């Protein structure tokens, strides 16, 4: 009976759980008792509880030594839990981790690969340089480990180490190991090595010659491609997209070998493959190119049946590709028709694509799209509807046929049925843009003006600045079609000071232009308001100049000359990228910059190093430091809601600032940050591209603002 008895005892010991004691010393004390309990299950529960508190943002760092006692165990789950705890504090309390260093070193030799990995992974995250020195042996060993699972973890640790301590990393020479890992037999190790090298390269280009490494290993990458996980494929393909093929033969070879991946189920793999192909496409021509184009097109379309976020990424990238290869999706307009349950951000991007995709020589297609847009324009959301209406005007200008434009106008009128005040803004803009496309069509001007003139009080019914600006411009341009003009202008003038500068400038110009027909009073008021009450320099200067011109002796001829200029004819209201920007964007497909259309500059983009490693202290000094910290915490041993933030600031305050500055730098690096006021008048497209660059989030805005802007710039 004895063995059975023993068994039962053992079983009880293992499974028994002690209910946590409610003690008046607070929750921390309870946890501590649990952590040192003699029953394994209770200890484990206590660790879990501790981690839970940690997750909730409470500071449980004082329990560190007690949690640590549980690390020496055969129970892998318990070990994992302890490591989880340690890993969390590795970042905020690096000095505490010194207490674990010996365990790390032993665990890195554990027979279980999982434990070896955990040890090395955690160790490379602790920001204490003395610990980092201990890392040498385990890291070297694991880099040569028999188990590929361990090797793939170890290669990433090199990058982590590099991020924490560049000098040490270089000194240890592990980067050389990393480079040789590119020749590993296991594809996942190769992929992770590429990723690690890419990371190191992005931090400091002088340490590794990544382009050269990619160049020399292309064959290896291509053969590893077919045998690894989806994510490894993404990494390898991304590396391949940096590769410059020597000639068209090689380019063709690369394309042939990656094309199969256009049929992978993972959208990220597809997009990475597209990127490689696009990179090599320029050196291919003839029939082969058409074949590749067909495959690309089908792959891009397939991205439209993915989750909305990925559709969004795909749509943004399609817009870039479309500009370089406009023929690519020409037969696929219908794929981009809007589904009524698409999220709004997808809907708007779809309109952007459709407007660009539609073939202006194909009346049938244009009419189809027009009907679709009209349908969408009857939806709920005002922002979406505005985009549709603008889209309708863009389509009209793109197709550029008077009969078609007339049809478009009729649709706009139909949409503007009574009660639809909210869309007046966008209709006004759309109509004015159309008029600016065909300024000579008198009947149309008359029609538009009479519609707009019928609106009771444009000052209040129009909300958007751009719409008001357009309205005022129209009054100045075609005063003959606005009966009761002076009343309308007076209404605007009354509100002059509350308008924003676009409208003010437009109003100023129109009033000057019409000064002979309006009562002298109006002109006087506007000039006075603009010069006295307005802080905006541009408006004031402009008013000043006009005033001086008008007060010259023979002013009429001069003013005549000034006012007779016409806004440039709009031939295309769809914004496009400058060739240079486009090329750079094509090289960055799939990245965040491709979403913002804001190409990243590799040479300028260097993230700052974090110099917040605890340095130059001896181990025993650190141990003292750790003990002191624990003791001082113990004194106020109540589990208050320590804001994890405030604790964290001690160690991370530094990088925050660095980050901030670095990112500010980044912001200023992009594109010319001229305000659109100085945009040259004539060249609409280049102006548009610039604004697109400067604008991060709303890519749809620039087209109308700039179009409106040059109304103003004209003078």
Span 403-462, contacts to other proteins by CB under 8 A: 419
Measure the CA–CA gap between 123 and 125, rounded to whole angstroms. Answer: 5
**Rounded alpha-carbon distances, angstroms, from residue 512 to 475, 534, 566:** 12, 17, 15
Other CB atoms within 10 Å distance of the CB of residue 376: 23
Query: Any residues with CB less than 8 A from the CB of 527 and at least 6 apart, and which?
Result: 508, 543, 546, 547, 550
Tell me: does residue 348 bind other proteins (CB under 8 A).
yes
Measure the CA–CA gap between 75 and 80, rounded to whole angstroms. Answer: 9
C-beta closer to other proteins: residue 222 or 493: 222
In the complex, what is the shortest distance from the CB of residue 623 to other proteins, in angstroms, rounded to a whole number? 23
Measure the CA–CA gap between 696 and 428, rounded to whole angstroms. Answer: 26
Tell me: does residue 519 bind other proteins (CB under 8 A).
no
**Rounded alpha-carbon distances, angstroms, from residue 106 to 33, 96, 580, 704:** 27, 18, 55, 66
C-beta closer to other proteins: residue 184 or 710: 184
- Our CA angle for 653, 657, 662, nearest 5°, is 145
**303 phi/psi in degrees, rounded to 5:** -70, -15
Tell me: does residue 610 bind other proteins (CB under 8 A).
yes
Tell me: does residue 485 bind other proteins (CB under 8 A).
no
Tell me: does residue 552 bind other proteins (CB under 8 A).
no
* Number of residues written out for the chain: 715
The correct pick among 25, 75, 401, 565 for binding other proteins (CB under 8 A) is 75
Tell me: does residue 264 bind other proteins (CB under 8 A).
yes
- Among the residue ranges 6-14, 408-416, 478-486, 703-711, the one whose residues contact other proteins (CB under 8 A): 6-14
The correct pick among 207, 624, 655, 694 for binding other proteins (CB under 8 A) is 655
In the complex, what is the shortest distance from the CB of residue 384 to other proteins, in angstroms, rounded to a whole number? 7
In sequence order, which ranges of 597-700 are alpha helices (DSSP H)? 619-635, 644-669, 684-694
- Among the residue ranges 234-242, 281-289, 421-429, 678-686, the one whose residues contact other proteins (CB under 8 A): 234-242
Three-state DSSP state, 326:
coil
Q: Are 278 and 271 in contact (CB under 8 A)?
A: no
Tell me: does residue 400 bind other proteins (CB under 8 A).
no
Residues 580-599 that bind other proteins (CB under 8 A): 588, 590-596, 598
Q: For the purposes of burial, counting CB atoms within 10 Å of the CB of 560, is it exposed (0-12), middle (13-18) or buried (19 or more)? A: exposed
- Sign, CA dihedral 617-622-624-629, equals positive
- Among the residue ranges 333-341, 512-520, 536-544, 566-574, the one whose residues contact other proteins (CB under 8 A): 333-341
Q: CA nearest 458: which of 407, 506, 411, 414?
A: 506
Tell me: does residue 607 bind other proteins (CB under 8 A).
yes
What Rg do the C-alpha atoms of the chain give, in angstroms?
Answer: 34
- Among the residue ranges 169-177, 182-190, 406-414, 527-535, the one whose residues contact other proteins (CB under 8 A): 182-190
Helical pair 308-324 and 287-302, crossing angle rounded to 10 deg: 160
In the complex, what is the shortest distance from the CB of residue 455 to other proteins, in angstroms, rounded to a whole number? 19
C-beta closer to other proteins: residue 189 or 570: 189
- Among the residue ranges 98-106, 558-566, 604-612, 629-637, the one whose residues contact other proteins (CB under 8 A): 604-612
Residues 268-287 that bind other proteins (CB under 8 A): 268, 271-272
Structure tokens at 198: 């890419």
Structure tokens at 108: 């890195």
C-beta closer to other proteins: residue 160 or 356: 160
Tell me: does residue 308 bind other proteins (CB under 8 A).
yes
Structure tokens at 585: 């964007």
Site string for other proteins, 461-480 (x = CB under 8 A): --------------------
C-beta closer to other proteins: residue 166 or 202: 202
In the complex, what is the shortest distance from the CB of residue 456 to other proteins, in angstroms, rounded to a whole number? 18
Three-state DSSP state, 614:
strand
The correct pick among 2, 19, 24, 380 for binding other proteins (CB under 8 A) is 380
Tell me: does residue 667 bind other proteins (CB under 8 A).
yes
Tell me: does residue 51 bind other proteins (CB under 8 A).
yes
Query: Any residues with CB less than 8 A from the CB of 668 and at least 6 apart, and which?
Result: none
- Our CA angle for 201, 207, 213, nearest 5°, is 65
Measure the CA–CA gap between 53 and 180, rounded to whole angstroms. Answer: 43
The correct pick among 62, 235, 433, 470 for binding other proteins (CB under 8 A) is 235
Tell me: does residue 627 bind other proteins (CB under 8 A).
no
C-beta closer to other proteins: residue 335 or 514: 335
Tell me: does residue 513 bind other proteins (CB under 8 A).
no
C-beta closer to other proteins: residue 447 or 466: 466
| HSE (side-chain half, CA atoms, 13 Å) at 524 | 3
Measure the CA–CA gap between 230 and 251, rounded to whole angstroms. Answer: 23
In the complex, what is the shortest distance from the CB of residue 336 to other proteins, in angstroms, rounded to a whole number? 10
The correct pick among 330, 644, 685, 694 for binding other proteins (CB under 8 A) is 644
In the complex, what is the shortest distance from the CB of residue 72 to other proteins, in angstroms, rounded to a whole number? 14
The correct pick among 204, 662, 681, 685 for binding other proteins (CB under 8 A) is 662
Tell me: does residue 310 bind other proteins (CB under 8 A).
yes
**Core vs surface per residue 679-689: b (16+ CB within 10 A) or e:** bebeebeebbb
Residues 683-702 that bind other proteins (CB under 8 A): 696-697
Tell me: does residue 179 bind other proteins (CB under 8 A).
no
Tell me: does residue 554 bind other proteins (CB under 8 A).
no
C-beta closer to other proteins: residue 120 or 475: 120
- Among the residue ranges 31-39, 344-352, 403-411, 461-469, the one whose residues contact other proteins (CB under 8 A): 344-352
- Among the residue ranges 209-217, 261-269, 496-504, 555-563, the one whose residues contact other proteins (CB under 8 A): 261-269
Q: Are 264 and 242 in contact (CB under 8 A)?
A: no
In the complex, what is the shortest distance from the CB of residue 410 to other proteins, in angstroms, rounded to a whole number? 16
Tell me: does residue 52 bind other proteins (CB under 8 A).
yes
The correct pick among 171, 285, 327, 375 for binding other proteins (CB under 8 A) is 375
C-beta closer to other proteins: residue 578 or 612: 612
Other CB atoms within 10 Å distance of the CB of residue 500: 14
- Among the residue ranges 245-253, 617-625, 659-667, 672-680, the one whose residues contact other proteins (CB under 8 A): 659-667
C-beta closer to other proteins: residue 114 or 207: 114
C-beta closer to other proteins: residue 288 or 334: 334
> Count of residues binding other proteins (CB under 8 A)?
126
Measure the CA–CA gap between 290 and 327, rounded to whole angstroms. Answer: 10
Residues 80-109 that bind other proteins (CB under 8 A): 80-81, 84, 91-92
C-beta closer to other proteins: residue 195 or 448: 195
CA 101 to chain centre: 39
- Among the residue ranges 192-200, 483-491, 673-681, 707-715, the one whose residues contact other proteins (CB under 8 A): 192-200
Q: Where are the beta strands (DSSP E) in 507-550?
A: none
The correct pick among 33, 41, 248, 623 for binding other proteins (CB under 8 A) is 41
Residues 122-161 that bind other proteins (CB under 8 A): 125, 127, 147-149, 152-153, 156, 159-160
DSSP 88-146: HHHHH-GGGGGGGHHHHHHHTT-SSHHHHHHHHHHHTT--BHHHHHHTHHHHHHHHT-S
The neighbouring-strand residues paired with 112 are none
Three-state DSSP state, 223:
helix
């Amino acid at each position: 009976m004895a063995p059975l008895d023993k068994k039962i005892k053992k079983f009880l010991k293992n499974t028994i759980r002690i209910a946590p004691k409610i003690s008046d010393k607070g929750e921390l004390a309870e946890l501590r008792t649990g952590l040192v309990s003699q029953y394994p299950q209770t200890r484990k529960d206590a660790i879990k509880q501790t981690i839970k508190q940690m997750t909730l943002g409470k500071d449980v760092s004082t329990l560190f030594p007690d949690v640590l006692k549980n690390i020496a165990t055969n129970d892998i789950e318990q070990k994992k839990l302890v490591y989880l705890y340690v890993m969390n504090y590795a970042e905020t309390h690096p000095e505490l981790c010194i207490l674990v260093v010996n365990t790390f070193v032993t665990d890195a030799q554990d027979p279980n690969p999982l434990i070896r990995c955990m040890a090395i992974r955690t160790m490379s995250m602790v920001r204490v340089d003395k610990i980092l020195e201990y890392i040498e042996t385990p890291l070297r060993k694991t880099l040569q480990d028999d188990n590929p699972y361990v090797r793939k973890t170890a290669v990433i640790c090199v990058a982590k180490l590099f991020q924490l301590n560049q000098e040490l990393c270089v000194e240890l020479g592990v980067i050389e190991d990393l480079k040789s890992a590119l020749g590993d037999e296991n594809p996942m190790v190769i992929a992770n090595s590429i990723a690690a090298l890419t990371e190191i390269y992005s931090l400091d280009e002088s340490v590794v010659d990544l382009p050269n490494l990619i160049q020399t290993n292309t064959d290896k990458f291509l053969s590893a491609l077919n045998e690894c996980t989806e994510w490894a494929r993404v990494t390898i393909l991304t590396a391949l997209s940096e590769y410059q093929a020597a000639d068209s033969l090689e380019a063709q070879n690369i394309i042939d070998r990656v094309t199969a991946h256009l049929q992978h189920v993972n959208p990220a793999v597809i997009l990475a493959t597209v990127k490689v192909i696009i990179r090599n496409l320029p050196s291919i021509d003839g029939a082969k190119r058409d074949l590749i184009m067909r495959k690309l097109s089908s792959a891009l379309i397939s991205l439209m049946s993915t989750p909305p976020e990925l559709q969004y990424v795909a749509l943004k990238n399609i817009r870039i590709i479309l500009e370089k290869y406009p023929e690519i999706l020409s037969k696929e307009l219908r794929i981009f028709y809007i589904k009524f349950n698409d999220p709004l951000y997808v809907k708007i991007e779809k309109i952007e694509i459709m407007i660009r995709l539609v073939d202006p020589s194909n009346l049938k297609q244009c009419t189809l799209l027009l009907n679709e847009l009209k349908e969408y324009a009857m939806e709920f959301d005002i922002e979406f509807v505005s985009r549709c209406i603008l889209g309708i005007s863009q389509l009209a200008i793109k197709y550029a046929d008077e009969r078609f434009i007339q049809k478009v106008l009729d649709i706009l009128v139909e949409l503007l049925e009574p009660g639809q005040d909210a869309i007046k803004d966008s209709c006004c803009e759309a109509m004015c843009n159309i008029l600016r496309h065909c300024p000579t069509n008198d009947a149309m001007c008359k029609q538009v003006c009479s519609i707009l003139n019928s609106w009771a009080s444009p000052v209040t019914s129009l909300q958007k600045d751009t719409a008001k600006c357009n309205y005022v411009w129209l009054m100045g341009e075609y005063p003959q079609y606005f009966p009761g003009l002076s009343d309308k202008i007076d209404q605007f003038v009354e509100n002059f000071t509350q308008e924003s500068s676009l409208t003010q400038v437009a109003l100023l110009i129109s009033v000057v232009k019409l000064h002979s027909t309006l009562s002298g009073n109006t002109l006087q008021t506007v000039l006075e308001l603009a010069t006295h009450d307005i802080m905006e320099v541009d408006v004031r200067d402009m008013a000043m100049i006009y005033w001086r011109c008008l007060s010259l002796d023979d002013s009429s001829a001069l003013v005549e000359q000034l006012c007779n200029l016409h806004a440039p004819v709009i031939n295309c209201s769809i914004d496009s990228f400058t060739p240079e920007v486009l090329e750079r964007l094509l090289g960055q497909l799939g990245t965040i910059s491709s979403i913002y259309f804001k190409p990243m500059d590799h040479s300028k983009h260097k993230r700052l190093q974090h110099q917040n490693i605890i340095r130059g202290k001896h181990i025993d000094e650190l141990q003292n430091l750790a003990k002191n910290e624990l003791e001082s915490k113990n004194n106020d041993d109540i589990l208050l809601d320590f804001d994890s933030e405030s604790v964290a600031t001690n160690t991370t305050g530094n990088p925050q600032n660095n980050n901030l500055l670095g990112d500010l730098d980044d912001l200023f690096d992009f594109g010319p940050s001229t305000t659109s006021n100085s945009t040259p008048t004539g060249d609409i497209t280049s102006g548009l591209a610039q604004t697109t660059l400067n604008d991060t989030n709303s890519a749809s805005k620039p087209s109308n603002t700039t179009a409106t802007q040059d109304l103003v710039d004209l003078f």
